[in-house]
Structure 1
Amino acid sequence: MVKVGLTGGIGSGKSEVARRLAERGAVVVDADKIAREVVEPGTSGLALIVTEFGPEVLREDGSLDRERLGKIVFADSAKLARLNAIVHPRVGERVAELQRAAPPDAVVVYDVPLLAENGLAPMYDVVIVVDASDATRLARLTGARGMDEQDALARIRAQASREDRLKIADIVIANEGDLDALEERVSEVWARLCERRDAAETPRA
């Protein structure tokens, strides 16, 4: 098994890279998706968030209003830390379950937005950083996603800097261009990951 940590700032295209790696056969563990699962209605995670931030972070149907919560925590580092203390341990437990279920010869890609922020690079055999400039990411967030510019900037600033992410990268996927260029680069990276997996599986004489 090759354990790959995949990260990138919001708007970098990390999720698109994860999707393309999955198409090629990677087992993708999506930390964002798991983070949503551990705060669904009826979970202890959601109950603790309501206790910490108040019932105003709930929608009428009892689910978490992620946009409202985001505006609260991304503008206040202490509140963000309190939210992470609730969510991250629960995500970690679920990730460990999925890892145990993966085939022993798998390339397992952990899609982890806060890999750099939480010092998680040593957990992986390979760290891939999807990289785009802050200006490109802001344009994507305010354009394709329709996000308010100040909200988008707050989210970018709440994450690690571009430089800090690049420091932990074993492989960088630059994503400033079009999807054809991204597809070509993902193919190159997938070939490298498969070579590493196959080398690890080959018994030494």
Structure 2
Amino acid sequence: MFLVGLTGGIATGKSTVSCMVKDMGVPVVDADLIARQIVEPGRRAWKKIREVFGDEVFLDSGEIDRPKLGAIVFSDIEKRRALNKITHPDIYSEIRGQVFKHFLRGEQFVVLDLPLLYESNRVSSYLYKTIVVSCDDELQLERLLERNQFTEKEAIARIEAQMPLDRKCQLADIIIENSGSIAETRKQVEGIIKLLRSSNHHIYNRVFYGGIFIVVLTAIAMLMYWIFMR
């Protein structure tokens, strides 16, 4: 199995592309979904957020007031780092668990949907290819204003909190241009999935990691023999 990273800028259409990939039968590990799950009431990250940010970022129901917390962390880089320090360990732990399950199922490849793929740089070295979903700057801002009902100042702050989109495109192996129609985007996604399915990289990985596994098992067996048969 091999891993493919999917990222983009806020409101460039990454989630739309991710849904298309799922519709084509490719397993997707969604970091945004995981990020919402690990802060559900009572969980470790939820408790730590209450401890660090206080009761004012929580609703009466006990759930996190996302707009309020977002306004705080996107206006203060140190508080954003504090939030990332709380949530990222749990997010990446869950990602590893889901990837391992897909490996055991014998999947050819898995797409990791990671909004901060390049910013965090925690999984880049494990990825076979990276895909960036891009669009025109003006369209990105327009989509964000329409989607979240932000003021222009709030929307710009969220865009600027991420790595510049042109820099992400420079780092990417594959770019999906999402400034056009849904049909145009889907055609690009279909071509990329076809290309990935034609790859034999998963065979190399199985041979390589399978070989390591056999070596480790052999070493353990020899050690046990040496201990108990002396």
Do the aligned residues in 2 keep the contact of 1:116 with 1:164 (CA within 8 Å)? no
Q: Which runs of 5+ in 2 are unaligned?
A: 208-230
1:148 is matched with: 151
The alignment-based identity, stated in percent, is 36
Do the aligned residues in 2 keep the contact of 1:11 with 1:138 (CA within 8 Å)? yes
Instruction: Give the RMSD, CA atoms, in angstroms.
Output: 1.7
Shift of 1:136: 1.1
| Map 1:1-205 → 2, pairs under 5 A | 1-102=1-102, 103-119=105-121, 120-196=123-199, 198=200, 200-201=202-203
Q: Which residue identity lines up with residue 67 of structure 1 in the other structure?
A: P
* 1:141-190 Cα distance to aligned partner (Å, 9 max, x none): 11244333222111101001112211220110011101010011111111
Q: Which residue identity lines up with residue 110 of structure 1 in the other structure?
A: L
Do the aligned residues in 1 keep the contact of 2:2 with 2:201 (CA within 8 Å)? no
Q: Which runs of 5+ in 1 are unaligned?
A: none
| 3-state DSSP of counterpart to 1:29 | strand
Shift of 1:133: 2.5
Q: Distance in 2 between matches of 1:142 and 1:68?
A: 17
Q: Distance in 1 between matches of 2:17 and 2:178?
A: 9
How many residues of Structure 1 are paired with residues of Structure 2 in the alignment? 203
* 1:96-139 Cα distance to aligned partner (Å, 9 max, x none): 11011102233211000001111242221110000112211110
TM-score normalised by L of structure 2? 0.84
Q: Distance in 2 between matches of 1:32 and 1:170?
A: 22
| 3-state DSSP of counterpart to 1:172 | strand
Do the aligned residues in 1 keep the contact of 2:6 with 2:111 (CA within 8 Å)? yes
Q: Which residue identity lines up with residue 165 of structure 1 in the other structure?
A: K
The change in CA–CA distance for 1:70 and 1:109 in structure 2 (over 3 A counts) is same
Do the aligned residues in 1 keep the contact of 2:144 with 2:155 (CA within 8 Å)? yes
Do the aligned residues in 1 keep the contact of 2:7 with 2:116 (CA within 8 Å)? yes
Q: Which shifted more, 130-139 or 31-40?
A: 130-139
| 3-state DSSP of counterpart to 1:6 | strand
Q: Distance in 2 between matches of 1:16 and 1:77?
A: 28
